[in-house]
């Protein structure tokens, strides 16, 4: 008789049954969503995109941001306004900045390392950092997860929806992935899910269709990538390695999906009772009521 068999002799059968139940019914580790535990600091949320129009907004001062929740995205941490505004929340959704460095092109690798370095150097206030579930194995999360000023929250990117739930109920419980063609889509979903009274989009230019072009000699697709902190001309690729050139129709289809997602989110916001305003000084998003700050 081995040790395991001896131990079983002294353990009541009910204990063994309970253990067997939990081992066979434990939650699937592939599903991870903790965003339902995020706390609101105010009833108003400002979502800041990095579009050029954000310069116009900042030119009018930043006093209106005081005591409001602010969520910034992507490389905003590399700008001086990160410390000026001290956002309460931050989101990155792009796999290019969330997976392991070994799979990235040199440009994306350097960008991801810069984001991590800037967070480590600048942050001295608490911030909620929201990332997709797959980010937990990536370089960014592993580098920042022990920072005492950062609390990470994950949202689910898989379809584990319940058939007896409506689409909005599945969105509410993050049983389906939020619209995520761009990070601002996902930020807006989160704000609606958390039921802020009012959400304002700023710097949400979404003007890629005006910036993309085709080289008239090589047919190479390129864009003038414009942000409030600068612009750069770059080729457009369909992979993280920067090896597969993207086709124009693919780029335009992706842009159309972004704009369609905003209309979908408008319906979600109306269902929940959240007011969403596009307060960007310039924007091609036509789904939300325009409002000046």
pLDDT digits (tens, 9 = 90+) for 8-31: 444 444 444 444 434 333 444 578
In a domain, 259, yes or no: yes
In a domain, 103, yes or no: yes
Token readout for 9 is 């002799």
Provide the pLDDT for residue 106.
85
Q: How does strand 127-132 pair with strand 150-155?
A: parallel
In a domain, 18, yes or no: no
pLDDT in tens, the chain (293 residues): 444 444 444 444 444 444 443 433 344 457 899 999 999 999 999 999 999 999 999 998 998 898 899 999 999 999 999 999 999 999 999 888 998 888 888 888 999 999 999 999 999 999 999 999 999 999 999 999 999 999 999 999 999 999 999 999 999 999 999 987 799 999 999 999 999 999 999 999 999 889 999 999 999 999 988 888 988 898 988 776 677 889 999 999 999 999 999 999 999 999 999 999 999 999 999 999 999 98
In a domain, 127, yes or no: yes
Q: Are 77 and 119 contacting, i.e. CB atoms less than 8 angstroms apart?
A: yes
In a domain, 41, yes or no: yes
How far apart are alpha carbons 270 and 274 in whole angstroms?
6
How far apart are alpha carbons 121 and 246 in whole angstroms?
36
How far apart are alpha carbons 81 and 62 in whole angstroms?
10
Provide the pLDDT for residue 7.
45
Strands (E), the chain: 44-48, 69-73, 89-91, 127-132, 150-155, 198-202, 212-214, 221-227, 230-235, 275-278, 289-290
Which residues constitute the domain of residue 163?
30-290
Strands (E), 86-146: 89-91, 127-132
Total number of domains in the chain: 1
In a domain, 22, yes or no: no
> Which residues face 72 on adjacent strands?
90
In a domain, 156, yes or no: yes
In a domain, 45, yes or no: yes
Closest CA to 153 of 130, 125, 126, 127: 130
Torsion of CA 263, 268, 273, 275, to 10 degrees: -30
Specify the DSSP class assigned to residue 217.
T
The radius of gyration of the chain's CA atoms, rounded to the nearest angstrom, is 22
Give tens-digit pLDDT for 76-135: 999 999 999 999 999 999 888 998 888 888 888 999 999 999 999 999 999 999 999 999
């Amino acid at each position: 008789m081995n040790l395991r068999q001896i131990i079983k002799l002294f353990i009541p059968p009910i204990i063994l049954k309970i253990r067997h139940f939990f081992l066979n019914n434990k939650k699937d580790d592939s599903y991870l969503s903790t965003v339902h535990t995020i706390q609101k600091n105010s009833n108003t949320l400002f979502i800041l995109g990095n579009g050029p129009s954000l310069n116009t907004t900042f030119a009018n001062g930043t006093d209106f941001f005081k005591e409001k929740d602010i969520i910034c995205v992507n490389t905003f941490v590399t700008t001086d306004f990160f410390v000026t505004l001290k956002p309460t929340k931050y989101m990155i959704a792009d796999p290019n900045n969330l997976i392991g460095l070994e799979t990235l092109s040199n440009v994306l690798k350097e960008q991801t390392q810069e984001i991590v370095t800037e967070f480590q150097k600048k942050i001295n206030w608490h911030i909620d950092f929201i990332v997709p579930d797959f980010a937990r194995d990536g370089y960014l999360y592993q580098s920042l997860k022990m920072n005492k000023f950062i609390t990470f929250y994950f949202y689910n990117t898989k379809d584990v929806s319940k058939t007896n739930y409506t689409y909005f109920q599945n969105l509410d419980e993050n049983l389906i992935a939020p619209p995520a063609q761009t990070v601002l889509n996902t930020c807006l979903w989160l704000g609606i899910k958390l039921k802020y009274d009012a959400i304002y989009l700023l710097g949400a230019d979404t003007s890629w269709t005006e910036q993309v072009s085709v080289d008239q000699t090589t047919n190479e697709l390129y864009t003038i990538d414009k942000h409030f902190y600068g612009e750069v001309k770059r080729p457009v690729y369909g992979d993280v390695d920067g090896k597969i050139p993207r086709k124009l129709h693919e780029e335009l289809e992706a842009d159309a999906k972004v704009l369609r997602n905003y209309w979908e989110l408008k319906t979600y916001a109306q269902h929940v009772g959240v007011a969403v305003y596009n307060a960007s000084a310039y924007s091609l998003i036509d789904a939300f009521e325009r409002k000046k700050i």
